[in-house]
Structure 1
Amino acid sequence: MALLNFRRKEAPAPVSAELEAFLKGFSIEVMPRTAAKVDDFRALLPAGSRVYIAHIDGTPIEEMVSTAARIASEGYDVMPHFPARIIKDQATLADWIARYQGEANVKQALLLAGGVSEPQGAFHSSMQLLETGLFDKAGFENLHVAGHPEGNKDIDPDGSDKNVGEALVWKQKFSERTDAKMALATQFCFESGPVIEWANALSDAGIDIPIHIGTAGPAKLQTLIKFAIACGVGASLKVLQKRAMDVSKLLLPYEPTEFLTDLAEHKAANPDFNIASVHFFPLGGIKTNAKWTQENGGASGVPVTPIQG
């Protein structure tokens, strides 16, 4: 039987200037239970980074707000999720907004339908949340909504993008008639080609809301496939499955370097390309994700404590 050949670990490749520029102002998503495991975010992320706080069904609002207050106190730009389908009614929505504002000085939100199939109350979409006018009344400055480069079967069960497309047109018109600073925060993707086609198609359709492209941070391949299946990621799932067929890559952790470098180079060659920022889902852990961003220029020029290991 042939012996495996172990090669000396090569020195890391120099950071791409395009990738470094593309990573400026990246954001990252955490949940209260994962945030609680981080002693101090200042050892991981550049000061002022936007940190989304995911609201999973069953998480008490008190836990969400206390997490937001803690992360904000460490110098971060906190953006909590407002999942429409788990918000009981307008009074509950107003209460959440008041708590975030009063206890954590929050002035921005990610509005989305949410991960449950059936609404638990009066709302089923981010558009309904926007229509209440409560965020505007509270003076929220940034209102982000979900983007779906690969579609969403919860919204379009037939596999088309009809309802997603109509919702985007509505959101575009909302952004034009209000002074809200909007952005499309997308699900995580792994393949650059379909993302570029999707972003260009939106621009061609007159939708100019800035795109914050979602990507998974470094993680085990099996972990990513599990999340991709659970989240209904389509074309990108095929990329992961193809990678899993390659024995030489199966045991190596996935890193988003190739995906983001492709997008960064496209952005450099096409300055009008409407992807404005990168949003990380740290599926392999916040520390692992933060280390990757530091090594790839995402913390360039910012005094962040180097992460060991």
Structure 2
Amino acid sequence: MTGKDIPGLIEAKDSIPQGTKINVTFLGNEDLEMRVAAAKAVRDLGFVPVPHISARRIGSQQQLEEFLGRLQEVGATEHVFSVGGDPATPEGPYPDSLSVIRSGVLQKYGVREVSIAGYPEGHPDIADDVLWRHLEDKSAALKEQGLDAVILTQFAFDTDPVMSWIDAVRARGIDTQIRVGTPGPAGIKRLLGFARRFGVGANAMIVKKYGFSLTNLMGTAGPDRFVTDLASLLAEDPSSGRVGLHFYTFGGLLATSDWVRQFTAAQA
């Protein structure tokens, strides 16, 4: 959810299981009060807040500590997501999420688990070798500091690159839990817009495999086929280790939580 999504969270609260992790963004058009209020709402409604720390948007160590201090006041620092962020030029001393992790500041405010980003289809602005080196370095740094880790991936429409990437993660000796990103049900145009922005493969063959066509952009699409296929592939490959899902709620919290509830019920 974003800092503006508190009404949507309240609307969806009865469809989301208590104890569910809900990430809270750190966007350029949000401020400290919005981020803290959203994290507090998540906690107050019985869920687990996972506030984002956008390294390149943090102007100073003092600003980072102020943010974490405010989150700690509302009981929202045990789980965080440390990510590099969008600005081409860092606004302060943290050029990437690794520098935030290595700062030693997180532990001061009660952080126990840090999510880090994974990119099964690469990143439009970062070379693959750099992505792999940073994933390895962040995993090692978290282990050295006694912090639990989760790898949270960019969303995808195709299970093949996701499975190949999971195999490559495990081949590097990283046994951290992976949460594979997938969009909740959303408008097809909206999904394709996010895919272009984040460098996610979305050609005609891929999106047909996912469950929609580029010739009909008026409807909505959900992750039914992707989730079903991914589950089958993971069941066939026990070396994949601990793998779960993370839902990007492009179509809204209620639509996503309703889809999860209905899909889960259908599997029972």
Normalising by the residue count of structure 1, what TM-score does the alignment of the two structures yield? 0.80
Within 2, Cα distance between the matches of 1:176 and 1:194? Answer: 27
1:300–1:107 distance in 2 versus 1, CA, 3 Å:
farther
The residue that corresponds to 2:229 in the other structure is: 262
Of residues 107, 111, 118, the one that matches 2:89 is 118
The residue that corresponds to 1:179 in the other structure is: 146
Give the 3-state SS of the residue equivalent to 1:244 in structure 2: coil
Q: Could you tell me whether the CA contact under 8 Å between 2:185 and 2:222 is conserved in 1? A: yes
Q: Are positions 1:55 and 2:26 aligned together?
A: yes
The residue that corresponds to 1:202 in the other structure is: 169
Further displaced range: 182-191 or 205-214:
205-214
CA drift of 1:68 comes to 0.8
Q: Could you tell me whether the CA contact under 8 Å between 1:293 and 1:299 is conserved in 2? A: no
The residue that corresponds to 1:140 in the other structure is: 111
* Identity across the alignment (%): 26
Within 2, Cα distance between the matches of 1:298 and 1:97? Answer: 38
Q: Which runs of 4+ in 1 moved over 4 A?
A: 298-301
CA offsets per residue over residues 204-249 of structure 1, 9 Å max, x none?
A: 122222211101111121111111111222x3455238843455xx
Structure number with greater Rg is 1
Q: Could you tell me whether the CA contact under 8 Å between 2:6 and 2:41 is conserved in 1? A: no
CA drift of 1:78 comes to 0.4
CA drift of 1:104 comes to 3.5
Within 2, Cα distance between the matches of 1:92 and 1:299? Answer: 46
Within 2, Cα distance between the matches of 1:79 and 1:224? Answer: 23
Q: Could you tell me whether the CA contact under 8 Å between 1:65 and 1:104 is conserved in 2? A: no
The residue that corresponds to 1:273 in the other structure is: 240
1:110–1:299 distance in 2 versus 1, CA, 3 Å:
farther
Q: Are positions 1:214 and 2:185 aligned together?
A: no
CA drift of 1:39 comes to 2.9
Give the 3-state SS of the residue equivalent to 2:213 in structure 1: helix
Q: Are positions 1:93 and 2:64 aligned together?
A: yes
Q: Could you tell me whether the CA contact under 8 Å between 1:46 and 1:299 is conserved in 2? A: no
Q: Could you tell me whether the CA contact under 8 Å between 1:228 and 1:237 is conserved in 2? A: no
Give the 3-state SS of the residue equivalent to 2:29 in structure 1: coil
Of residues 220, 223, 228, the one that matches 2:190 is 223
CA drift of 1:172 comes to 2.4
Normalising by the residue count of structure 2, what TM-score does the alignment of the two structures yield? 0.91
1:151–1:256 distance in 2 versus 1, CA, 3 Å:
same
The residue that corresponds to 1:66 in the other structure is: 37
Structure 1 unmatched runs, 5+: 1-29, 302-309
Q: Which has the higher contact order (CA 8 A, sep 6+)?
A: 1
Within 2, Cα distance between the matches of 1:220 and 1:105? Answer: 32
Q: Could you tell me whether the CA contact under 8 Å between 1:108 and 1:143 is conserved in 2? A: yes
Within 1, Cα distance between the matches of 2:111 and 2:94? Answer: 20
Q: Could you tell me whether the CA contact under 8 Å between 1:111 and 1:129 is conserved in 2? A: yes
Q: Are positions 1:107 and 2:78 aligned together?
A: yes
Q: Could you tell me whether the CA contact under 8 Å between 2:5 and 2:38 is conserved in 1? A: no
Q: Could you tell me whether the CA contact under 8 Å between 1:225 and 1:240 is conserved in 2? A: no
1:180–1:187 distance in 2 versus 1, CA, 3 Å:
same
Further displaced range: 271-280 or 124-133:
271-280
Q: Could you tell me which amino acid in structure 2 is paired with residue 57 of structure 1?
A: G
Within 2, Cα distance between the matches of 1:91 and 1:267? Answer: 43
Q: Are positions 1:167 and 2:142 aligned together?
A: no
The residue that corresponds to 2:254 in the other structure is: 287
Give the 3-state SS of the residue equivalent to 1:149 in structure 2: coil
Aligned residues: 265
Within 2, Cα distance between the matches of 1:143 and 1:280? Answer: 18
Please identify which structure carries the higher helix content. 2
1:237–1:109 distance in 2 versus 1, CA, 3 Å:
farther
Q: Could you tell me whether the CA contact under 8 Å between 1:57 and 1:116 is conserved in 2? A: no
CA drift of 1:274 comes to 3.2
1:37–1:105 distance in 2 versus 1, CA, 3 Å:
closer
CA offsets per residue over residues 172-211 of structure 1, 9 Å max, x none?
A: 2223323211011111111001100110011112222221
Within 2, Cα distance between the matches of 1:55 and 1:300? Answer: 35
